[in-house]
Amino acid sequence: MNWKEEYKPLLWISGFFVLAYFIPIENTRFAESVMAALDLTRWYAREHVLLCLVPAFFIAGVIAVFVSQAAVIKYFGAGAKKWVSYAVASVSGTVLAVCSCTILPLFSSIHKRGAGLGPAIAFLYSGPAINILAIILTARILGWKLGLARVVGAMVFSVVIGLLMHLIYRKEEAEKAAAQFSMPKQEEERPLWQTAAHFFILVFILIFATLAKPDSMKGIWAFLFEWKWVLTSGFGLLLSWSLIAIIKIKPQHVILAAVAIFLSYLLAPQMALIPFSVGVIALSILLSTANDEAQMWMSASWGFAKQILPLLGAGVLIAGFLLGMPGGKQGIIPGNWISDLVGGNSLFANFFASVSGAFMYFATLTEVPILQGLVHSGMGQGPALALLLAGPALSLPNMLVIRGVLGTQKTVVYVSLVVVMATISGLLYGSLF
């Protein structure tokens, strides 16, 4: 036996034994932190995975398979016109009402298809940061000044951080641009309008399925929320048409899947998750058993799921243990420490708010009520903006996945840029208001 090769498993076993032996389960704070981690993970699984991440995986699969590499390179490639690529990337959040984790499969997909690092990073930041619903909610609850500062800051952030990442790794990007320039031009397999129609049908399913309940049941958002599942079902019917007309799946198979979804609705009309789940299963079976292109779509979607879900699960558990469940059980780090440390407008308060926001997990729109509570507890206006600019775009689970896509160094640089710029923005805003 080669004992040198056995040191690594010995260290893992010894480490686990020491951890198990000394684990302080009798400590109340530790026990509550463990429960907070499990509570956050359960909430994430119930409220976020099925309605947010699963549609996002299918959308990422569409990008990976149906959006040609030539099209991605044309608008996001390392050699594309900067004003076009950054303009498209910086406003993506107004279309995609997603959180820091749901954007990951989409980012990973366009990056693998050849997008330049700068535009891809701009897309990664803007997706969750420039959420039009969250910005409106911010303005209504926290004031129009903070709402306006958030949208302006987020749009500027996405472009500046993307450009800085491009400049830092400009040699690598130049090599990528040269390689893309020498690639033979690919012909589009189908008209662009068909690919766009199929893509946006899935996007609108994601948007309406995840639509959060507004504070007031009046106005356009209340109307959309009341009809969210009708609208989702409508786009589900459009998806059936798309599967037949664009993806070329046999009509009888699509009709059979639609009948199964409708029957599941009749059995549980008050539980929308059941027909939605049946729809996900039916779509997976259809794609897995249809033509080669459909199977490639399913394979790409599953590939993103395998890459991202384990890291997200681990990240959510760690975030829950350290920081607790928002509005619920506390983590090992007491919540009052955070609110005590972010009062006023000092450099430390803004920096601490940026770092705390970067590591915390915020589902879409949840950052607003959480921040409302912190502001009422004495949080300064500057740190509030710093947390708004760093929090929704980053989280510990998000960082783990980005590291798997970009590597450790680029992830550290990206996170550092977000934290530094959020800190500076908080200082400037706090000094003005």
Per the domain annotation, does 145 fall within a domain?
A: yes
Note whether residue 268 is domain-resident.
no
Domain count, the chain: 1
Range of the domain at 348: 32-177+190-249+290-432
Say what the pLDDT of residue 185 is: 52
Predicted confidence at residue 183, as pLDDT, reads: 47
Each residue's pLDDT expressed in tens, for the chain with a length of 433 residues: 566 667 778 888 888 888 888 888 888 888 888 888 888 888 878 877 888 778 878 887 887 778 665 565 566 665 666 777 777 777 765 555 566 676 777 788 777 767 778 888 888 888 777 766 567 667 766 778 888 888 888 888 888 998 898 889 888 777 766 665 544 455 556 777 888 899 889 988 888 887 777 767 777 878 888 888 999 999 999 999 999 999 999 999 999 999 999 999 988 888 888 999 999 999 999 999 988 889 989 998 898 788 777 877 777 787 778 777 766 677 787 766 766 778 778 899 999 889 988 887 776 556 766 676 677 667 788 998 998 888 878 888 788 888 888 889 999 999 999 999 999 999 999 888 7
User: Phi/psi at 333 (nearest 5 deg)?
Assistant: -95, 115
Residue 65 lies in a domain: yes
Return the structure tokens found at 368.
């607003």
User: What is the three-class DSSP state of 278?
Assistant: helix
Residue 240 makes CB contacts below 8 A (sequence gap 6+) with 254, 255, 257, 258
DSSP secondary structure, 344-403, as one string? TT-HHHHHHHHHHHHHS---TTTHHHHHHHHHHTTB-HHHHHHHHHHTTT--HHHHHHHH
Residue 241 lies in a domain: yes
Tokens representing 142?
A: 């926290």
**For the chain, percent helix, then strand, then coil, each to nearest 5?**
75, 0, 20
| Any domain includes 123 | yes
Contact criterion met (CB below 8 Å) for 423 and 382: no
> Is the CB of residue 362 less than 8 Å from the CB of residue 370?
yes
User: What kind and span of H or E run contains 424?
Assistant: helix 408-432
Tokens standing for 329? 């059980």
Residue 124's nearest CA partner among 81, 162, 174, 76 is 162
- Residue 48 carries which DSSP code? I
3-class SS of residue 2: coil
C-alpha distance across the termini of the chain, in Å? 69
Q: How far apart are CA 89 and CA 165, in angstroms?
A: 14
> Has residue 374 been placed in a domain?
yes
Residue 227 is given by DSSP the state: T
Residues paired with 77 in a beta bridge: 115
Tell whether 280 is covered by a domain.
Answer: no
In angstroms, the CA 296 to CA 65 distance is: 7
Query: What pLDDT was estimated at residue 365?
Result: 58
Handedness of CA 38, 59, 150, 100 (dihedral sign): positive
> Does 117 reside within a domain?
yes
Return the pLDDT at 131: 64
Q: Give the whole-angstrom CA distance, residue 45 versus residue 40.
A: 9
Which amino acid is it at 261? I
